[in-house]
Structure 1
Amino acid sequence: CGRGLASRARGMGSQVIVLEVDPLKALEASMDGFDVMPMEEAIKIADIICTATGNKTVISVEHFKKMKNGCIVSNTGHFNVEFDYGGLVKIAKNRRHMRDNLEEITLEDDKKLFILGEGRLINLASAEGHPPDVMDMSFANQALAAEFLVQNQGKLATGVYTVPQELDDMIAALKLKSLGIKIDVLTEEQKRYLASWNEGT
């Protein structure tokens, strides 16, 4: 979720800073070209903050106090516990309803913060859910996985299975076709090479 958010935000022209607790994910973000830094540094310079962690109280009341005036805060990762909205409300000097799912909170120092969706999942609270260009692939995957289970009834041992690669490939190919995107195809020689260790160093 966070990786896609960062990528899409950068694609729309944002300068994205990634905050991580996982060393490997932080390194991946850095190698993908994102700035990576701790919350204490990022919180002071961010114009828009969107949590995508799946964890609790990632943004505390103390963090809210350090944010820039006019900072916009939202959550796209988990339930409404990712940031301490309740704690923020308690220290608010003033609260103003700006429009549906947008609240202006003024702190004691007259700093204004803009909270989207009261900390609930923003793509569900303030929009119409997941976009169709994502859900069509998800539903296709579910439908074809169900068909696979029916066709293989009695042949599979009890357990959890990943969706067969052929189904993922077929869905991806259909999606590309619907978007008018063409890609190259491996030659038979290339397929044989990739399937063996008989050539190369």
Structure 2
Amino acid sequence: MPMLAEPRKKSKLTLNPRGTLWANDENKFGQKLLEKMGWAKGKGLGKNEQGVKNPIRVSGNSDNKGMGFSGNPDLTTDHYENFEDVLASLNSANNSDSSDSESEKDSNNLKNIESLEMKSKNSRARVHYSKFTRGKDLSLYNENDLASVLGTKKILKRKRNNEMKNEEQNESIKEVINEETGEESDVKETFTYYSGNIKV
């Protein structure tokens, strides 16, 4: 007697599960016609017999990515980027001042994400189970994970902007140091120079 929780599968038994009867049958109309024209088993079709010699067979697909998947994750978010560019161009004329404040709010929201698991544990009533809270907890994910799930590149653009600002600040510091010392040197070298001369 089968278990109640066991998955039910319909199985169909055939007389020829591997299709060998058809492959080994030499009375097929198409094969007879080709043999009359000069074809024999083991030869390929074509003028120089350069065609495929083995029968066509279906290749098994072990993953669920689908046919024609090339493995490039950037292609999946291209239409999102195009749509975001259109929206940005529409909003640039209307809300140029408010866009700066919105980007600051977004960055503050990402920094202030509280752990859902800790909220649930600290509450009096047991609201959520631990598996549920771990699955829904956004504090466990970093910005790149969220960007890949949501399909947005805003976070990456912010990072690039921050890196460019940091580089500009470093260059301005180098210029100030060059003016003071009169020679070109790295920031690290000057810090080691000044830290070595400081007596405690």
Band the TM-score falls in, shorter-chain normalisation: under 0.3
TM-score relative to the length of structure 2: 0.22
Structure number having the greater helix percentage: 2
TM-score relative to the length of structure 1: 0.22
Structure number having the greater strand percentage: 1
Question: Which structure: larger Rg?
Answer: 2
